[in-house]
Amino acid sequence: MFTLASPSFLGKPKPAPPIVEFLRDLVYFTTYSTEPRARDGVVFFSIDEKLAYNSFYLDFGPHSLGSTFQFCSVMNKMVTAAAKTRRKIFFYSAPDPQLRTNAVCLLACWGLLFHGMSAERAYAPFTRLSFPAFHDASPAVCEYKLTILDCLQGLERALKCGFVDPKTFNIHEYHHYEQVENGDLTWISPKFIAFAGPQQSYNVSSEGYVMLTPEHYMPYFVKNNVTLVVRLNEKEYDETQFTRKGITHLDLYYPDGATPPPCMLQRFLQICESTPGAVAVHCKAGLGRTGTCIAAYLMKHFHFTAKQVIGWLRLCRPGSVIGPQQEYLESIQSWMWELGDRKSREILSDVKKQGSGSSRVSGLLTTRAISVFGVKKPLEIMERQNTQGDHLMRLKRTFQAGTSA
């Protein structure tokens, strides 16, 4: 059975999608439901089917730094060629809100990284458009709103702090080490590496999942002056595999999906501040607890806002900071800024006087119930079941295996 359209709508064409000028007389953004027809003087370009975001659950972006720089490399070449032939570039996406959001975020990052734009300037052409907020790496409803502008401001601050250099960023190295079989590690700043937790013995599952040991990380850590490893999850390997090679090891366990108690966070900050070299931090998947603790350090020492640091972490290492950890970072923002402004020198001096005491320090556990993906469970049950980190690691290995297949 067919229903005729109302007479008032008959013959009315669909409204044309808005065309946003990004670089004057050169680069534009718009949306198309189908591939547009060729036009003289115009180059159409889309990444919808070429640059996929591998989601853990309901997260859909932003794209990683590796993918962002891949996009930037293509854009730089296209702009150079288009300028010579006096053609315009129409970068477009499908109307899907998530695809539009990722596309605009990529384009704005390119403007920031390679055209000297501020975060606000790069986002300004799109302020009249609406975009969904980015979702955390969970299947639960996310009330926390992380926007494109938040991610841009995080990237802008990271640039100013020297965390990333567009001229020297190594795309191949980034993609190599993000692979599970190559370490699943990511530099967040010159001080911090985030990585997935090693296991006691090397293993390859029947599905092809690779489990690495501390020994697999040693050559890279030694080469890059890693002098401290911080473990935030339960013990799954013998830490002497690090300490006998001269790398200090710190245990600060707290439950998966939770946030660190104040005394534990202060200990993390103090020991990292007193460590002369780089610090490699891991939990189960190197995303939630790891991202939260590193974020606190960056807020304290580099005055990131909570939203900026989450945006930066998600660009560096997609999936970082999950669930209540987002609101937690908001709640400690002023505290971290106060510590950074007034107490960092005093704290650093005290730590140097006291010394680290031991190469292995155990954290105190006070929480007996935690929320995982919005479901509150007693800690005793969580210790016997697969944790949030287990789920995230399994998903990451699955989509990486699918990509390489």
Here the CATH number for the domain that contains residue 247 is: 3.90.190.10
- Type of residue at 223: K
- Is 339 within a domain? yes
Do 118 and 179 lie in one domain? The reply is no
Q: At which of 150, 180, 200 does a domain end?
A: 150
Domain that holds residue 292: 171-404
102-146 tens-digit pLDDT: 999 999 999 999 999 999 999 999 999 999 999 999 999 999 999
Do 252 and 354 lie in one domain? The reply is yes
Tell me the C-alpha to C-alpha distance, in Å, between residue 186 and each of 48, 179, 190, 291: 25, 10, 11, 11
Do 142 and 240 lie in one domain? The reply is no
Do 145 and 44 lie in one domain? The reply is yes
Q: Which residues pair with 249 in a beta bridge?
A: 229
pLDDT at 15: 72
The answer to whether the Cα torsion of 401, 132, 291, 312 is positive or negative is positive
Q: Which residues pair with 279 in a beta bridge?
A: 192, 228
- pLDDT, average across residues 217-246: 98
- Is 1 within a domain? no
- Is 146 within a domain? yes
289-308 tens-digit pLDDT: 999 999 999 999 999 999 99
- Is 203 within a domain? yes
Do 212 and 340 lie in one domain? The reply is yes
Phi and psi torsions of 268, nearest 5°: -60, -50
Do 137 and 187 lie in one domain? The reply is no
pLDDT at 404: 53
- pLDDT, average across residues 343-350: 57
- Is 189 within a domain? yes
Do 192 and 265 lie in one domain? The reply is yes
- Is 301 within a domain? yes
Q: At which of 120, 150, 180 does a domain end?
A: 150
E strands, 19-142, are 20-23, 27-31, 42-45, 88-93
Supply angle C-alpha 174, 216, 361, rounded to 5.
Answer: 100
- Is 8 within a domain? no
Over pLDDT 70: what percentage of the chain? Answer: 82
Catalytic residues: 283
pLDDT at 209: 78
Q: At which of 150, 184, 209 does a domain end?
A: 150
Number of domains in the chain: 2
Structure tokens at 332: 């400690």
pLDDT at 397: 66
Q: What is the pTM of this model?
A: 0.85
- Is 56 within a domain? yes
